[in-house]
Amino acid sequence: MLKINPPEKWIETGLFMAAVVSAVAIVSILLLLIYFCLPLFSGNGLSRVFSWRWQPIDGQFGILPMCAGSLALSILALGIAFPPAIGICTLVHVLSRGVFARIVLILTHFMTGIPTVIYGFVSVFVLVPRIRSLSEAGTGFSLLTAAITLAILILPTIVLVCYTRLEQLDPVLRLASAAMGFTPIQQMRHVLMPAATKGVAAAAILGLGRAMGDTLISLMLAGNAAQFPGSLFTSFRSLTAHIGLVVATDSQSLAYQSVFAAGLVLFLLVAALNLIIRKTDNRITANAFLRVQETRHEQNF
């Protein structure tokens, strides 16, 4: 019936080559970034780029304020997104398993597909004027504005990963705790959440990484002033926005090289987060949706 026997070895080699592509890509991204950072290592380039002042007209090219900006932004966004994310997980996992939970879950999935630029665009006209009227000192383009918008962006990621981990828990846990007379919310608080701590932590870190890597939100909403993010209402610049803003200035200056330094720092930060996720919970892959899908499939068998 099967006329031709395809050369199995060749096929396996071909598939293997495809699997290697990701690794090659990652390594070449890292190498190219390092290659373009090399000029910094001669002279005092490194100490000039890793300093606290960005004032190109005075020859000051420090990107540390941007590093601080990225960290502050992503941590704040996570802080805003995390509690409601856990709330939504609780809601759909134990409190309401009916139509409403279904709607919430579908909406959450849908949210992962809303283009980032749309969040930024709407926020410019909805959130910025409100934040501006909230604080006299700021222009509305601020840490808070960007963090709130970013929180909405990363919310579905956290919800979906958490939810997946909760669904993966042994159903016996829930039955036993219910038999002990725990109400649903008590089950969640005292049994399920503690049991899923690692997964929840991984979800949070995943959200942090997503927040740190986002460009459009901070570019459109943070104001881009190259200063330390001293308060919620100050304008600041993230590493990602710095790359977008400065990438094509004069190729001879340190300003230009600072872009590659920013790229490298960003890459290493996100890679470190990735490593932490793997250490925390090796059952989480780096994409919420896929994980959800995997579980669905697992449930079927």
Partner 1 sequence: MKTDTRYRWILYFTVAMMVVAASSGMVSAASVDSFAGMEGTISIAGGTAHIPVMNDAAKAVMTAHPKIRITVEGGGSGIGVQKVGEGLVDIGNTGRPLSKEEIAKYGLQSYAFALDGVAVVIHPENPVSGLSAQQVRDIFAGSVTNWKEVGGKDGAIHLFTRDEASGTREVFWGNLLNKGAIASSANVVASNGAMKVAVAQDKAAIGYAGIGHVDKSVKAVILDGVMPSQENAMNGTYPVTRKLYMNTKGEPGKLVKTFIDYILGPEGTALSQKHGYLPLQ
Partner 2 sequence: MNRISDRILVGLTWLSGIGMCMVVTGLLLFLIFHGIRQITPALFFGDTPWLKAITGQSPVFDGIWPAVTGTVLLVFLSSAIAVPVGVASGIYLAAYASSRQRAFWGSMVDLLSGTPSIVMGLFGFTMILFLRKTVNPTAQTGLFLAAVCIALLILPYLIRTSQAAIAGISTHLRLIGPAAGFSKWQNIRHVLLPLASRGILSGIILAVGRASEDTAVILLTGVVAQTGIPRNIWDKFEALPFRIYYLAAEHRNATELEQGFAVALVLLFLTGFLFAIAFLLNRYAENRWRIRRYQ
> What does the binding site for partner 1 look like in residue numbers (CB under 8 A)?
53-58, 128-129, 132, 136-141, 223-227, 234-235, 237, 245-246, 248-251, 255
Alpha carbon separation from 252 to 53, 56, 173 (Å, rounded) = 19, 13, 62
Q: Find the binding residues for partner 2 in span 190-209 (CB under 8 A).
A: 209
CA dist., res. 249 & res. 246, Å (int): 6
- Candidate ranges 101-109, 160-168, 172-180, 191-199; the one touching partner 2 (CB under 8 A): 101-109
Selection from partner 1, partner 2, none that 47 binds (CB < 5 to 8 A by kind) is: none
DSSP code at position 42? S
Selection from partner 1, partner 2, none that 134 binds (CB < 5 to 8 A by kind) is: none
Selection from partner 1, partner 2, none that 172 binds (CB < 5 to 8 A by kind) is: none
Measured from the CB atom, the residue of 17 and 176 that comes closer to partner 2 is 17
Q: How many residues bind partner 2 (CB under 8 A)?
A: 94
CA dist., res. 254 & res. 67, Å (int): 17
In the complex, the smallest distance separating the C-beta of residue 145 from partner 2, rounded to whole angstroms, is 14
Q: Which residues contact 52 (CB under 8 A, 6 or more apart)?
A: 62, 64, 65, 228
Q: Taking CB under 8 A as the rule, does residue 212 contact partner 2?
A: yes
Selection from partner 2, partner 1, none that 92 binds (CB < 5 to 8 A by kind) is: partner 2
SS3 3: coil
- Candidate ranges 44-52, 136-144, 168-176, 213-221; the one touching partner 2 (CB under 8 A): 213-221
CA dist., res. 71 & res. 279, Å (int): 21
**Strands 54-55, 60-61: parallel, antiparallel or unpaired by DSSP?**
antiparallel
